[in-house]
Amino acid sequence: MQHLPCQMCEKVVLYNQTDRPLSTIRTMSTPSPRQILETLLPPLRAAAAYARFIQPKITALPVKEGDNFFAQALSDADLSIQNFVEVVLLGTFPDIRFYGEELDRSPNTKYFRSTELGPPGDYLVTLDPIDGTKFYLDGHSNYQILLGVLNADEFEAALAISPGENTYFYAFRGEGVFKGALNVDFDQCTPLKIQPLKSAVLLGVGMSHLKSRLGDRYTAVDVEMDYSSDRQIPNINGMFGGDLCGAAIRAGKFIDGALLAFMAKEAGCIVTTSDGSPLPPLHACEDYSRPGLIVAASEAIHRDLLAACGG
């Protein structure tokens, strides 16, 4: 059996192998990806202002479970912004699926219909309330608030807000990426075309071994070895501002790495798995994560990163 959305009546219907409906599981309003982003942009502006205001005053919370100091970082902003977005979602789209990074610490997780990827047309909203919490705690400006709308196979929409830089980027599937100041609406944003200004590539956690393989052709920014609390290094969002021409990451989590890779691809970048294969559909992935990813601004850069990865 499979679950298919009825587009005309906005119902999820159970079908058997003869394609005859057996029963209606649930009747629910299904907001479009654009409705979701347009509804959440105003409260996310407030969340961005909140994050910016408390950043100089904030202290780290006890570390959470994770295999590196980036994944272990936690702040009041992570918890507060997620709770804020959850309240807005539950009050506006109470039947929506939702997965937030801090779901284990949220009092609202139990009120959502599901935290899992759904059948086609039954979207999952994802949130990384502070992507780059370690950057945020150390006073850097390149942290982000990341929101995604996921279909069964691929992202339908993504929103990346940079409070410290007063900008945001948004993308809808097949429509490219747009950039604007945080105070402007979608229709006032301008198309983004990635144009690298530097020959720098980002090596994510666990990818330090690639540095020696890139030789002197690129400046390899190793997030584990090169991170400094005093000197800001590019995050993956450096692809959008020209600070990076490529990136290689060990895994692309739906809430952050995979979302930013989707946006980079919409902006014209080449995005594959680390062995050069096309990206698997989201429903074929495990643990809310795509496998290792290569993001490159050109075919030549992609070839070099692929060769470094052994592909």
pLDDT digits (tens, 9 = 90+) for 180-197: 999 999 999 999 988 888
pLDDT tens column, 202-260 = 999 999 999 999 978 899 999 888 988 899 998 898 999 999 999 999 999 999 999 99
Provide the pLDDT for residue 62.
65
Provide the pLDDT for residue 59.
79
In whole numbers, what is the pLDDT of the chain averaged over residues?
88
Give the Cα separation of 149 and 117 in Å (integer).
Answer: 10
Summarize the confidence of residues 165-180 as an average pLDDT: 98
Provide the pLDDT for residue 159.
98
Task: Evaluate if residue 293 carries a pLDDT over 70.
Answer: yes
Provide the pLDDT for residue 227.
87
The CA-atom distances, in angstroms, between 189 and each of 168, 169, 179, 196 are 9, 9, 5, 20
pLDDT tens column, 41-98 = 999 999 999 999 999 998 776 655 655 545 556 688 999 999 999 999 999 999 999 9
Task: Evaluate if residue 101 carries a pLDDT over 90.
Answer: yes
244 close to 269: Cβ distance less than 8 angstroms = no
pLDDT confidence bin for 201, thresholds 50/70/90: very high
Beta bridge mates, 11: 6, 27
Summarize the confidence of residues 274-289 as an average pLDDT: 97
pLDDT tens column, 6-26 = 433 344 433 333 343 433 333
Provide the pLDDT for residue 64.
53
Long-range Cβ contacts of 194-198 (<8 Å, 24+ apart): 194/239, 194/240, 194/242, 194/264, 194/267, 194/268, 194/269, 194/297, 195/242, 195/297, 196/242, 196/244, 196/245, 196/297, 197/242, 197/243, 198/242, 198/243, 198/244, 198/245
Provide the pLDDT for residue 7.
38
Least reliable range by pLDDT among 1-5, 266-270, 304-308: 1-5
